[in-house]
Amino acid sequence: MAMKWKKWALATSVLAVSAIAQAAPPSAAMLSNACAGCHGTNGGSAGPSMPSLASQSKTAIVDAMKKFKSGERPSTVMGRLAKGYSDAEIEAMGDYFSKQKFHATSQAVDAAKVKKGSDLQEANCSRCHLDDGKDGKDDTPVMASQWLPYLQMQMELYQSGKRKMPEKMAEKVKPLSKEDIDALLHFYASVK
Ligand code: HEC
Ligand code: HEC
């Protein structure tokens, strides 16, 4: 009798546990907690080597995560991290961060470079990096207020060929001088 009771209790508790697991998959906000140490609780970057995710398009975030996961986009930490998430989890986090408010940073920038960069952005990059880089067309990431060291690192990866530049972007970037690119990145960093 005692044995039977035990078996029944065990069977029902297993059922209860699996019912809970099915009823409550981790929410997007819970998943995104794992990103907060570096990308901030609301997607606002916690430091100069890390981008803000807040207000980026879902497509831009999901695309970046998939490229980190496959190794197509080089990284210091994201490749390793991205491998721990399923496509559904990546979609959920992309959706979550895309709904967070734009994050403005305050950083030291060179005023003359910012002015020059503003003109260059309008003429060369504004087709995809919309609204002074505050918005991005489809898979284009937000550039406004990203940390200058982060932007410089990504531009170096592109120009060294380690990160693949979109073809239409390469057409615009290639003819520019080192000084032009520097001015552009100062401009993006300054936008609030
Ligand atoms: C330990 C710090 C750290 C953690 C934790 C972290 N990231 Fe990152 N993230 C970075 C860094 C640094 C980069 C720049 C690429 C690189 O060097 O890895 C980055 C880049 C990104 C980018 C590219 C954004 C752009 O503008 O191109 C996305 C998207 C991203 N992370 C998503 C996430 C998500 C989602 C999580 C949580 C699952 C997460 N990250 C957790 C440090 C981190
Ligand atoms: C045809 C559209 C297009 C044009 C024009 C364009 N870009 Fe981009 N840019 C993109 C896309 C799409 C990405 C993300 C692609 C990827 O996964 O590498 C990107 C990413 C970037 C990044 C990396 C940001 C990050 O968070 O990872 C920098 C820096 C950048 N662009 C600078 C520029 C500059 C400077 C210009 C003008 C000289 C420019 N882009 C013109 C589409 C464009």
CA of 123 to the centre of ligand 1 (A): 30
| Contact in structure between 84 and 34 (CB atoms under 8 Å) | no
CA of 129 to the centre of ligand 2 (A): 7
pLDDT, tens digit, for every residue of 29-69? 999 999 999 999 899 999 999 999 999 999 999 999 999 99
CB of 145 within 6 A of ligand 2: the answer is: no
Q: Which two tokens stand for residue 56?
A: 């980026």
Nearest ligand 1 atom to alpha carbon 60: 29
Q: How many CB atoms lie within 10 A of CB 97?
A: 23
CA of 151 to the centre of ligand 2 (A): 10
Cα 132 from chain centre = 18
Residue nearest to atom 7 of ligand 2 (CA): 169
pLDDT, tens digit, for every residue of 144-156? 999 999 999 999 9
Cα 51 from chain centre = 6
pLDDT, tens digit, for every residue of 86-121? 999 999 999 999 999 999 999 999 999 999 999 999
